[in-house]
Amino acid sequence: MTADPARAAQGQAPVIELADVRAGYRDRDVLHGAALALHAGTVTALVGANGSGKSTLLAVMAGVLAPRSGTVTLGTPRRPALVVQRSAASDALPLTAREAVAMGRWGLLGPWRRPTRRDRAAVGECMDRLGVADLARRRLGELSGGQRQRVLLAQGLAQEADLLLLDEPSTGLDADSRERIAAVLDQERGRGAAVVHATHSRGEADRADRVLVMEGGRPVAGEAPVKEPLS
């Protein structure tokens, strides 16, 4: 662990707080009374078996899945940024890498406002941080899995969100890409964001301030029964 989240949270209101949340799909609940509070300047690793509810919890926190019951309280005026797994981004999207990253600015622009010099600079900076600036004119469908994942993360960074949510961002990536992503998460913590990333890597979990294990449809503080990535 890199920091004491309890000490970091002293005197701070949570960036987001969930209380007794139940959520799922169709007639099946995946989350059963989930509760947590996340504070600024912390990184939380979310672990658990496939199907344990990690993605569902992230979707609820991002506001893209409404809970059936319970409360979700955002303590920040900015919408959370959700970075999906690269497989969730369609190859058919007619977007260049730079256009995909620029989509992250839409929430800050508001209706009918054209991107400013600052917006364009922010897009370029985020691409530089993830090492994908040289891919700016390439189509998403032409990129490797690791390249596309870094583009999606750059899109999330471009939102300048106070809550950054990532669904297994480094699974299946090479060591260089994993280390670059880990460094970016550390930087976002330093910026004051609350970061949550689902992971199957013990090394990534150990690097976080806190580990939450999905058990019985709830995130529970504990040690991570996780494995290192295969690649």
Domain positions in the chain are 11-80+163-174+190-223, 86-160
Please write the tens of the pLDDT for every residue from 73-104.
Answer: 999 877 899 998 765 555 666 889 999 999 98
Q: For 88, which DSSP code?
A: G
The answer to whether residues 229 and 171 touch, using CB atoms and an 8 Å cutoff, is yes
Roughly what angle, to the nearest 10 degrees, separates helices 145-158 and 175-191? 10
Are the C-beta atoms of 210 and 221 separated by less than 8 Å? yes
Write out pLDDT tens, residues 153-210: 999 999 999 999 999 998 878 888 889 899 999 999 999 999 999 998 888 999 999 9
> Mean pLDDT across the chain, nearest whole number?
87
- For 155, phi and psi rounded to 5 degrees? -60, -45
The CATH homologous superfamily of the domain defined by 11-80+163-174+190-223: P-loop containing nucleotide triphosphate hydrolases (3.40.50.300)
Cα–Cα distance measured from residue 43 to residue 2, given in angstroms and rounded to the nearest whole number: 9
Task: State mean pLDDT over 1-16.
Answer: 61
Distance (Å, rounded) from C-alpha 2 to C-alpha 19?
A: 27
Lookup: tokens for 131: 């090492």
Lowest mean pLDDT among 25-39, 63-77, 94-108: 94-108
Confidence (pTM): 0.86
Cα-trace Rg, the chain: 17
Quote the strand ranges of the chain, DSSP E: 16-25, 28-38, 42-47, 69-74, 81-83, 163-167, 194-198, 210-215, 218-221
Tell which residue, 37, 160, 171, 163, has the closest CA to residue 106: 160
Angle of helix 117-129 relative to helix 145-158, nearest 10 degrees, comes to: 140
Residue 173: its pLDDT value, please?
85
